[in-house]
Chains A and B, each alone.
Chain A
Amino acid sequence: MHRTWAIIERELRRFRRSPVLIAMSMTFPIVQLVVLGYAFGGNVKHLKLAIVDQDHGVPAVKVRELASAVSSGARTIDTIDYTDQGQALTDLRNGRVNGVLTIPPEFSRRVLERSQPRVALIEDNTDSFVSNALAATLGGVVAAYNQPATTPRIPGQATLDVVEVYPYVPYVQYLLPGSVVMSIFMMVMIGGGIIFIDDKARGLHEGYLVTPITKFELIAGFNISGTIKAVVAGMFLIVIGSIIAGIPNPFDPMRLVRLFVLVVVTSFALISLMFLLMVRVTDPLLPRAVFGILNTVLYFPSGAVYPQQGFPGWMTVIAVADPFTYAVHAFKNLLLKNTGFVAIASDLMFLLIFSAVAMTAATMLFKRTL
Chain B
Amino acid sequence: MNAIEVLSIVKKFGDFTAVNGISFAVEGGEIFGLLGPNGAGKSTLIRMMVTLLPPTAGTAVVNGFDIVKHADGVRKSIGVIPQAMTSDLELSVEENLIIFAKLYGVPRAKRETLIDNLLAAVELTEWRHAQVKNLSGGMRRRVEIARGLVHEPRIFFLDEPTSGLDPVSRVAVWEMLQKIKAERDLTILITTHYMDEADKLCDRIAIVDHGELKALDSPLKLKASIPGKNILEVSLPSAPPEWRDRLQQLPYVQRVSGEDNIFRISSTNGPETTLALMEMAKSAGVTVQSLSVESTTLDDVFVHYTGRALRDALQEANPLDRGFMMRRP
Contacts and interface: CB of A to CB of B under 8 A. Distances in A.
Interface of A: 2-3, 5-7, 9-10, 13-14, 17-18, 202-204, 206-213, 369-370
B90 A17 contact: yes
B88 A209 contact: no
Contact of B53 (A207, A212, A369): A369
19 contacts: A6-B100, A6-B103, A9-B99, A13-B95, A14-B91, A17-B90, A202-B86, A203-B82, A204-B86, A206-B80, A207-B80, A207-B82, A207-B86, A207-B100, A210-B82, A211-B104, A212-B103, A213-B103, A369-B54
B10 to A, nearest CB: 16
B102 A212 contact: no
A204 B88 contact: yes
Contact of A206 (B82, B99, B100): B82
Interface stretch (B70-78, B223-231, B290-298): B70-78
A116 B100 CA distance: 87
Contact of B51 (A2, A203, A210): A210
Given A10-B91, A13-B91, A213-B103, A206 B75 contact: no
Contacts of A7: 103
B84 interface: yes
A18 B53 contact: no
Give the top 7 A-B pairs by smallest Cβ distance, nearest first: A203-B84, A6-B102, A210-B80, A207-B86, A206-B82, A211-B103, A17-B90
A5 B99 CA distance: 9
Contacts of A203: 82-86
B99 A10 contact: yes
A3 B105 contact: yes
A202 B84 contact: yes
B139 interface: no
Contacts of B86: 202-204, 206-207
B325 to A, nearest CB: 24
The majority secondary structure among interface residues of chain B is: loop
A175 B205 CA distance: 67
A214 to B, nearest CB: 9
Contacts of B102: 2-3, 5-6, 9
Nearest to B84: A203
Nearest to B73: A212
B90 A18 contact: yes
Interface string B92-107: 0001000110111100
A9 B90 CA distance: 13
Contact of A210 (B78, B95, B131): B78
A369 B82 CA distance: 14
Contacts of A10: 88, 91, 95, 99
A204 B88 CA distance: 8
Q: Chain A interface mostly helix, strand, loop or mixed?
A: helix
A191 to B, nearest CB: 13
Contacts of B103: 3, 6-7, 208, 211-213
Contact of B47 (A13, A211, A370): A370
A370 B105 contact: no
Nearest to A204: B86
B178 to A, nearest CB: 23
B52 interface: yes
A125 B7 CA distance: 79
B109 to A, nearest CB: 14
B78 to A, nearest CB: 7
B52 A211 contact: no
B233 to A, nearest CB: 43
B310 interface: no
A14 B91 CA distance: 6
Contacts of A206: 52, 80, 82, 84, 86
Output the residue of A6, A7, A209, A211 with the most chain B CB within 10 A: A211
A304 to B, nearest CB: 33
Contacts of A213: 103
Given A13-B91, A14-B90, A202-B84, A212 B50 contact: no
Nearest to A214: B72
A100 to B, nearest CB: 64
A206 B78 CA distance: 14
B18 to A, nearest CB: 12
B16 to A, nearest CB: 16
A127 B147 CA distance: 64
Contacts of B51: 209-210, 369
B135 to A, nearest CB: 15
A145 B126 CA distance: 88
A9 B250 CA distance: 71
A23 to B, nearest CB: 16
B130 to A, nearest CB: 13
The winner among B50, B72, B82, B83 for most chain A CB atoms within 10 A is B82
Contacts of A209: 51-52
Contacts of A18: 90
A209 B75 CA distance: 9
A211 B99 contact: no
A211 B100 CA distance: 8
Nearest to A212: B75
A206 B103 CA distance: 13
Contacts of B100: 6, 207, 211
Given A6-B103, A9-B99, A203-B82, A210 B52 contact: yes
A7 B104 CA distance: 12
Interface string B113-148: 000000000000000000100000000000000010
Nearest to B54: A369
A369 B91 contact: no
Centre residue among B50, B72, B95, B99 by max chain A CB count within 10 A: B99
A7 B98 CA distance: 11
Contact of B90 (A6, A13, A211, A369): A13
B146 to A, nearest CB: 13
Contacts of A369: 51-54
Contacts of A5: 102
